[in-house]
Homo-oligomer: A and B are copies of this chain.
């Protein structure tokens, strides 16, 4: 446990950031956790409403909402433009939903706000294992951004990414260990088509989430029955 004992969680209401929020509450104590959520014109904007509901259900005292609906003035892609269908070309590692600079924007705004609250720890649910096509989900970006933020504001931030090297299945395991598997399974929204919980089942985000869940369930059943269940744990 860091001696600087408060944290701000970048929180979207999806599986990953909700898992991080539960972990932050476990690590720092509910009274020391704040969260921040961004609306940026994303198609799955219902996640913002879900984020508000989850933060309230958990009893997070301070939940900041920031409206970035101007983001489509500087770039566009399938997540911001309703005329572009969401798809993933077979020869690309990355679906056409990447929003240039998004994670850097989230980190920067969170950092400015955190400093105003004298908070040093920023927690973000990015992960490079499953999302290798998104450059701003890589650890090298996060580390570099951490240094840049410190230099920009002369403040020692610590950007913490608990899921960076986990598979989706391992993120489900973390939720399970936090005693929150069912809550996250039923309550969070990851689906690009705005369907909470199990989702639409067909968008890239649902496919990834479902595959990870099934893999973790096989592993857990294997563990319960005494075998390993999977070779990759």
The residues of A with any CB-CB pair to B shorter than 8 Å are 64, 66-67, 70, 73-76, 100-101, 103-105, 108-109, 111-113, 115-116, 135-136, 138, 140-141, 144-145, 147-149, 151-154
Contacts and interface: CB of A to CB of B under 8 A. Distances in A.
Nearest to A140: B151
Given A101-B152, A136-B153, A152-B103, A74 B116 contact: yes
Given A100-B116, A152-B145, A74 B66 contact: yes
Given A75-B115, A75-B116, A112-B74, A148 B154 contact: no
Contacts of A100: 112, 115-116, 152-153
A66 to B, nearest CB: 7
A70 B66 contact: yes
B152 A141 contact: yes
Nearest to A68: B70
Contacts of A141: 148, 151-152
B113 A75 contact: yes
Nearest to A101: B112
A104 B76 CA distance: 21
